[in-house]
Amino acid sequence: SFSLLPLILLLCLSAQAVDRSNFKTCDQSAFCKHQRELKPGQSPYRALLDTLELSDSRLTLQLINDNNKVRLLLELYRLQGNMTRVKINELKPLKPRYEVPDVLISDPITEALSVVAQDENSLVLSLGGKDQRLIVSAQPFRLDIVEGPQVLMSLNSRGLLAFEHLRARKDTISHKISSTVGSMWDSLKKEEDKPGMWEETFKSHTDSKPNGPSSISLDFSLPGVEHVYGIPEHADTLKLKNTDGSDPYRLYNLDVFQYELHNPMALYGAVPVLISHSTDRTMGIFWLNAAETWVDISSNTTVFGKILDFVQVSNEVPQTDVRWISESGLIDVFIMLGPKPADVFTQYASLTGTQSFPPLSALAYHQCRWNYNDQEDVKTVDQGFDEHDIPYDFIWLDIEHADGKRYFTWDPSNFPQPKEMLQGLMDKRRKLVAIVDPHIRVDSGYKIHNEIRSKNFYVKNKDGGDYEGWCWPGNSGYPDFTNPEMRAWWASQFAYDQYEGSMENQYIWNDMNEPSVFNGPEVTMHKDALHGVWEHRDVHNLYGLYVQKATADGLILRSGGVQRPFVLTRAFFAGSQRYGAVWTGDNAAEWGHLKISIPMCLSLGLVGISFCGADVGGFFKHPSAELLVRWYQVGAYQPFFRAHAHIDTPRREPWLFGPENTALIREAIRQRYALLPYWYQLFYNTHRTGQPVMRPLWVEYPDDVATFSIEDEYLIGKDLLVHPVTDEGATGVTAYLPGKGEVMCFSTLNGFLSLPIFQRGGSIICRKDRVRRSSSCMENDPYTLYVAPSSQGSAEGELYIDDFHTFSFEVAKQFVHRHLSFSANTLSSRNLAPDSQFSTASWIEKIVIFGGSQPSSVTLKNADGTESALEFEFGSTLAVLTLRKPGVNAAADWTVVLR
């Protein structure tokens, strides 16, 4: 059901790895090692059913660990939208345990739970429609979610629930222990004999662990499931691998210099969301915990025995087991029951929000390197794009633009007149991004540092002084972004009268926000640093989200709430999609890094972060001309499209590799600009619904098992299929086309293959084929509609238009949203938003219909009933019908009839 876009037939193609010793393995992380030593078996936890309390919104009951008699509190919630929430905390902790704030967009709406059956060892709760039940087994404690006779998911079925309760250190406890707690004391002594429980050393760094061991673990079993995805960020395959015999996947935001491919090491961001998919069902697990987390995945075949009379599974079925281990906090998990992929995306979006809707220019091409030297360099590069007729929207400035790496400033020698530079770009309707990192130079002559120190907004060390570490400026302080007052102050610094030299066409990049601490353990902050009353270990993976949130809030605030922000972040967490874009960090100019960018961005899209890209050309090293051209072709079809390079690499602006390669790069970038209306409509859709922009094939073809492991091709929306060329010297690729349809031939030239792009039969895609120097210059340009009818001769699509940069689409319903449909040789445009008010100068200048026959006449019917004949031409070789100059406004109702 996909056909090769004829237009694309014209497009033809002529560092040293990470030091892994800087980063912990599971064996070097005491809590991971201890938890992993616990093997599957009968759980020591027992549910005390006589403690059950049931209200309209939740069920609670106590669990007891029969080994040490510590009690936990289990909370169960049935949530609106086919979700279940499970929370487990200590019943009476010595002090509160950390609960992650600010990630959920609101308290999830609950629905009534009801008990449908109960005996001495089990409790059966109704989860609503389709015979969904939640079964609580008392001894050993276990939860099963079933639908009719089918087990969908089991919790603690392998007995790996482990909850390290807070306790006083044994050498501080009186040894006059009564006989009534003797057995508990024996158990504690055994636990505390393990190394790393109260203090842990890695390389030269010691973690004081003042609160002692506090880790948690829980296992989930997924019968019938062989394919699981998500838990980014890792430079690994789309389908998650079995971790038996290797390290688990690690979620711990880290600044990893030149990361390796195909391993489960932690990278810059962490989203603790796992998606399972089979032909029967798609589900999700959202483990809401911001501490260091490890995820074990094992696959096997198991025999499910009898749970209750109505759940009897005797056949062997494939099964995937997932075990989550976190260093601190509590167990707070959302189980998203689908059943379809789109349902899981909707469910997750209802919890953490949708992708922010970027200004149109942010979806265009970005030109960056570390660093453009000075204002004259910026001007020269800007002129180079015009001289070579290559469009771009943003030029970027890295850390060298600031005065001594003091962010919110400009280097007085190299950027003495930033407003003059910004105005020059604005005159061409272009923009600039400047970096603002969250490490602040400790310098009494630096206003930002002085204000943060005077307001007591820095993160503290374990002794209560300001935490300091080394980063780009040298000795640096780290603002406590977990503090809402600190975030509000940070946001205020983007005001034009505070950030001197900034203008409305300047946007922001937050890098190094894991946070990166060059002389810290694992190149990050010490875990016993303090954010108010909480240790850094509790909040680590949230830090980057808070930095991006405060920055985005600042850009909105400086515009009086009018303009949509654009902020790129390196570190991220669940919910980061609400604040802007991410990229895959410090990759390298190697074919493997080009290839891995696809599953990395697909994984992010599955967990809500659609605005993803990779440094085009590779950050480290120097790409060959072939690799660079291929990377531009790939980057043009990923959501965030930015070229970037390390300071030590040779310059690589698009025109520096000879005229033939310049032409190929130009064409790739121009294709991006022509497709901007489609990208923009997709981002509007993901902002409204949470459906990913860049999707694995199985999302749209959930029953096609052949798609479940494909990661070298993908969908943009549901209507474009892209198979990038990611192998050196490739002169052909084998593309898998899901659905039913004819495979078109590829054209080749000079031994190289153009990038294969397919349009789905049954779709209509809007483009702007008059490409100008920036997207802003194209805002009022006309549209061309590309109609690819299905085998039944029908097609549909959407057109979305607004002012491309403000919140008016949301606050004042100022937008155009139209449904385009083709059926029975009639093409029509219908209003999808009759209550919205917006006018556009854009019109429809051309309609291209693939795969039809030659009509005898074509008639345009306007909304007022007037009719006119349209000029047309028919290319019989490719069966392409072109209708010229319908001349109708893009916001109008109209119909075209082929006879």
Are the beta carbons of 259 and 588 closer than 8 angstroms? Answer: no
Q: If we measure between CA atoms, which residue out of 786, 820, 787 comes closest to residue 890?
A: 820
Per the structure block, which two tokens stand in for 106? 């609101």
Asked if residue 65 lies in contact with residue 45, where contact means CB atoms within 8 angstroms, the answer is yes
Q: Which amino acid is at 340?
A: K
CA neighbours closer than 13 Å in the CB half-sphere of residue 727: 9
What 3-state DSSP class applies to 452?
A: helix
Instruction: Determine contact, residues 601/614, Cβ cutoff 8 Å.
Output: yes
For residues 862 and 210, give the distance between their C-alpha atoms in angstroms, rounded to a whole number: 75
- Tokens found for residue 384: 């180079």
Reduced to 3 states (helix: H, G, I; strand: E, B; else coil), residue 792 is coil
Element (H, E) at 809: helix 808-811
CA–CA distance, 314 with 848 (Å, rounded to integer)? 56
- Given the residues 255, 528, 586, 719, select the one marked as catalytic: 586
Amino acid at 301: T
828 contact partners, CB below 8 Å, separation of at least 6: 820, 821, 822, 893, 894, 895, 896
Question: Cα(342)–Cα(358) distance, rounded to whole angstroms?
Answer: 22
Amino acid letter for position 656: L
Amino acid at 128: G
Catalytic residue, candidates 411, 511, 719, 781: 511
Round to whole Å and give the CA distance between 133 and 76: 13
Instruction: For residue 613, count other CB atoms closer than 10 A to its CB.
Output: 24
Pairwise CA distance, residues 801 & 298, whole Å: 47
Q: How far apart are the first and last CA of the chain?
A: 25
Spatial distance between the Cα atoms of 122 and 142, rounded to a whole number of angstroms = 9
Q: Please give the structure tokens belonging to residue 248.
A: 């688990």
Owner of token pair 């603790």: 272
DSSP letters for 109-143: PEE--EEEEEETTEEEEE-STTTEEEEEETTTTEE
Residue 403 bears catalytic tag: no
For residue 274, the cross-strand partners are: 230, 285
3-state helix/strand/coil string of 667-699: HHHHHHHHCHHHHHHHHHHHHHHCCCCEECHHH
Q: Could you give the count of Cα atoms lying within 13 Å of 68 in the half-sphere of its Cβ?
A: 17
Is residue 511 part of the annotated active site? The answer reads: yes
Interatomic CA distance for residues 587 and 356, integer angstroms: 25
Q: What is the largest CA-CA distance in the chain?
A: 102
**CB-CB neighbours of 423 under 10 Å:** 12
Residues carrying an active site annotation: 511, 586
